[in-house]
Amino acid sequence: MGKLNLQTVIDPDSGFCFGVVEAINKAEHAIEQGNELFCLGEIVHNDEEVSRLSKRGMKTINHQELGNLKNKTILFRAHGEHPKSYKTAIDNSNKIIDASCPIIKKLQQKVKTSYHNNEFIIIFGKPDHPEVIALNGQVDDKALIVEKIDDININSIPDKITIYSQTTQSIEKFYEIVDYLKQANKDITVKDTICRRVSNRHPRLQKFCRMYSKVIFVGGKRSSNAKVLFDVCSKENTNAYFISRPEEIHPEWFSEGEIVGISGATSTPHWLMEKVSDFIKTL
């Protein structure tokens, strides 16, 4: 195959949301201050960014390893943490750098208030997602976590319900669940807590995807936000491809002289999209 002479355009709306930017800034600041820094869980669901920070000295630990750390500096990432993590870290005299996103902190407070008001709480989200685990922690792990309608046993839940959402979930799916509960005659208080930094991107991303014959979407395999946004891309453009690293790109995807649109999740660093762009131009 000869040279394809491709051009690229990076979606100006893509890249880290401010919650993630703040967390990374806090991590870099702590490293620069000479701290031996431990991050509880991946700072962002993006292997490339985690590896960049690890080369600068940040170590990523899991929740089991947290119990073994004493007198260290530990960063809690933007997703927020379960109260148990705070207790474990403090009991062992560690210093916490709390990088929980302010939007998530507020959401945690709201869920807590609902709980203290004895409301029955449903959280729409992924049960194993760190943000959802941390949210449920605010209510003694008593919320019902629902990812899809089938997760609800309608006859076993009370008639009065308050429903919240994980911040990076899809608005359409959230309201499908809300409608289902309404049709089942539940008295439901809807707390639409989907982060508009993410959902506001949908219409702009749709427009971006329609502008190019091929779209490369860059995201981490474990990022919820990347999955939701890639869904948006692939509905708009049947030639949209999900990749995590430039090496996953196949030259056969492109035709000579095309202009390729590149977009990414709120957990995708801008430098990685630049790298993807440079790679495509070499094809």
Cβ 26 to ligand SF4 shortest distance, Å: 13
Catalytic option among 49, 81, 131, 147: 131
What number of other Cβ atoms are within 10 A of residue 42's Cβ?
20
* 116: Cα separation from own chain's centroid: 28
Interaction residues for ligand SF4, span 219-278 (CB under 6 A):
266
Q: Residue 250: which region, alpha, beta or left (left: phi > 0; alpha: psi -120 to 50)?
A: beta
Number of residues that bind ligand SF4 (CB under 6 A): 14
How are strands ordered across the β-sheet holding 240-243? 7-10, 259-264, 214-218, 240-243
Q: Is 131 a catalytic residue?
A: yes
Interaction residues for ligand SF4, span 88-127 (CB under 6 A):
101, 103-104
Among 6, 10, 17, 44, binds ligand SF4 (CB under 6 A): 17
Cβ 182 to ligand SF4 shortest distance, Å: 26
Question: Quick check: 197 binds ligand SF4 (CB under 6 A)?
Answer: yes
Question: Quick check: 18 binds ligand SF4 (CB under 6 A)?
Answer: yes
CA gap 149, 168 in Å, rounded: 18
Using CA atoms, how far residue 272 sits from 56, 87, 205, 221, 242, in Å, is 17, 36, 18, 14, 14
Q: Compute the 3-state secondary structure of the chain and give helix, strand, coil in percent, each to the nearest 5.
A: 45, 20, 35
Which one, 19 or 41, has the nearer CB to ligand SF4?
19
**Token code pair at residue 81:** 């943490």
Among 6, 10, 20, 233, binds ligand SF4 (CB under 6 A): 20
Interaction residues for ligand SF4, span 151-180 (CB under 6 A):
167-168
Cβ 15 to ligand SF4 shortest distance, Å: 11
Q: How many CA atoms lie within 13 A of 66 on its CB side?
A: 22
Segment near ligand SF4 (CB under 6 A), from 87-95, 144-152, 191-199, 200-208? Answer: 191-199
Residues lying near ligand SF4 in the complex (CB under 6 A): 17-20, 78, 101, 103-104, 167-168, 195, 197-198, 266
